[in-house]
Amino acid sequence: MDKKVHELLNQQINKEFYSAYLYLQFSNYFKEIGLDGFANWYMIQAQEERDHAMLFYTYLQNEDQKVTLDAIDKPEKEITCTMDVLKAGLEHEQYVTALINDIYGAAYDVRDFRTMQFLDWFVKEQGEEETNAKDLITKMELFGSDAKGLYMLNQELGARVYSAPSLVL
């Protein structure tokens, strides 16, 4: 495996675990303000991010590549309101999309088709994640200022259940 591709894949493990930490912070915020449905939604996001980290981890191991685990940074997002969280979530997903695209580009440059194929699932996943984050913002803008609307949105988010990724390595 190309050295740069290996390095970027290894770094992505850390970025995915950081994403899990960030979403746990968001879940905690919502739990503290009594929006358990929102807390549930972000708890599931955290679970997904941990799974993503493990997919990168397993891929590197399956490719006989060394895995190096670095320290995970503490999330430093300043949260003052619900919309701060939702917008930070979208911003973070856009950042992760850029990271995935960078890895894909590096793999493309060296004709690492196996890694490109592995990353195809993540490219699709990031499109879904950005859409979900945008949809949350739109729903909050439409219904969040109305107590009944916020209650219904909280109920909707509380109904989300976790399902592990279906990517086969």
Instruction: Tell me the domains of the chain and their CATH numbers.
Output: 3-158 (1.20.1260.10)
The answer to whether 127 touches 120, Cβ cutoff 8 Å, is no
| Residue whose C-alpha is closest to residue 15's, from 103, 79, 132 | 103
Q: Quote the pTM value.
A: 0.93
> pLDDT category, 81, cuts 50, 70, 90?
very high
Q: Cα separation of 154 and 3, whole Å? A: 45
Res. 168: pLDDT tops 80: no
The whole-number average pLDDT for the span 30-37 is 97
Res. 96: pLDDT tops 90: yes
Res. 49: pLDDT tops 80: yes
> pLDDT category, 78, cuts 50, 70, 90?
confident
Give residue 168's Cα distance to chain centre.
Answer: 19
Q: What is the per-residue pLDDT for 16?
A: 98
> pLDDT category, 165, cuts 50, 70, 90?
confident
Q: What is the per-residue pLDDT for 167?
A: 64
Residue 6: both structure tokens together: 């290996």
